[in-house]
Structure 1
Amino acid sequence: MPKIYSEDLRRKVMEFYRKSGHKSNTCTTFNIARTTLDDWILLEQQTGQLAQPKLVNVGRPSTIKDLASFKVFVENTKFSQAKDLVPLFKNQFGYAVSYDVILATLHKLGWTHKKRVSSTGRPVK
């Protein structure tokens, strides 16, 4: 995970770099990596500011948006395992979620795992 530096520190580093004109000296003075300074220089050239750009969420959503309609969907859909719901969910709601999200939401709604009892052949103590 990259370290997030404050915008104030970024400004101080860039001012020092402009005065000295020496990247290595700037990095050792402020104890930052050379690539970090290069990234800040590039960021300032492209955007004109040093603020941390907002990260865009990518990938599947981490939650189900409409819990009430999901509950109706689960009650009206025949399935034997929760993994069967993953493709059916995408067809019904138009966006995909992971198997873990479906399991967590089922648990939130009060659905439990099916417990299978298997005999071991040993007498009960």
Structure 2
Amino acid sequence: MHAYSLDLRKKVMALYYQTGHKSNVCKQFGIARSTLDGWIKLEKETHALEPLPVVKQGRPFSIKNLEDFKQFVETTPFTKIEELLKPFEQKFGYQISYAILWRGLDKIGKTRRNTDKVRN
């Protein structure tokens, strides 16, 4: 999605209020009609044109506390990495993907890649 400056938003809205014609305003400024509709809705709801803060959705990209995670790994019995997914969610209260779990194990030195040393 294209980010528009606050100055442009104000100019667009001023022309819209002056003319009352959405299509012409959109053509003149080269924006989508849905964009203008969104700005009108935003201004009615918040009385401003500043964009609302983005709410992150989905799983986090990393483990939030590596020290607690390290203690969790040392006290939780497992033979495969995927066996840690459910207990992790129960203990920490959020889900992570297998890849994030593996990366966390790698960061705390619990993967083979970290323990095997290449000899020259």
TM-score (norm 2): 0.84
How big is the shift at 1:43? Answer: 1.0
- Amino acid of the structure 2 residue aligned with 1:75: E
Q: Does 1:100 align with 2:99?
A: yes
Q: Within 5 Å, which residues of 2 pair with 1:1-125? A: 2-113=1-112
How big is the shift at 1:81? Answer: 1.4
- Amino acid of the structure 1 residue aligned with 2:66: L
Per-residue Cα deviation, 1:32-79 (whole angstroms, up to 9, x for no partner)? 001111111111111111100011122332222221121122122221
Moved more, 42-51 or 87-96: 87-96
CA distance in 2 between counterparts of 1:79 and 1:56 reads 34
- Amino acid of the structure 2 residue aligned with 1:42: K
How big is the shift at 1:113? Answer: 4.7
Which of these two proteins has the greater Rg computed from alpha carbons?
1
CA distance in 2 between counterparts of 1:93 and 1:20 reads 55
% identical equivalent positions: 47
Per-residue Cα deviation, 1:74-105 (whole angstroms, up to 9, x for no partner)? 12222121111100112222332222211111
CA distance in 2 between counterparts of 1:33 and 1:85 reads 47
Tell me the C-alpha RMSD between the 2 structures.
1.6
TM-score (norm 1): 0.81
- Amino acid of the structure 2 residue aligned with 1:62: F
Moved more, 54-63 or 79-88: 54-63
